[in-house]
Structure 1
Amino acid sequence: MGIEQVKTAPHSPWQNPYCERVIGSIRRDCLNHIMVLIEKYLKSILSDYFEYYHHDRTHLASFKRYP
């Protein structure tokens, strides 16, 4: 198919803006407000956040527009 892999430098938001935006959202909305000591707890918190992010959060592009 002619697809080639392009490597990006870590922590370079101008090279991979989509990934950096998701990571920033997770940090701001979820991880800045808790202190994680156990990996199992972190997985539980992140799975709850992803469920909220994909199902309950207001998306401007869907039918859940702001009033």
Structure 2
Amino acid sequence: MPYVNIKITREGGTTRAQKAAIIKGVSELLLNVLNKPLNATFVVIDEVELEDWGVGGLPVEEYRAAEKAKT
């Protein structure tokens, strides 16, 4: 019984259709690769506020600004 937890930032307004496509795609991947039945696979999508997400030791907005400044 696979459990997959996907975390994304709550920006850009991810639609229900996009989330459904993610759930379907991940479930089908586990079916195709590991032979895990669709009805035994659980996928949870958590949306995280942007200020609660960090990368490279920085809040993501600061990280993106620093990366943009490099180009």
Please state which band the TM-score falls in when normalised by the shorter chain: 0.3 to 0.5
TM-score by length of 2: 0.35
TM-score by length of 1: 0.37
Q: Which has the higher contact order (CA 8 A, sep 6+)?
A: 2
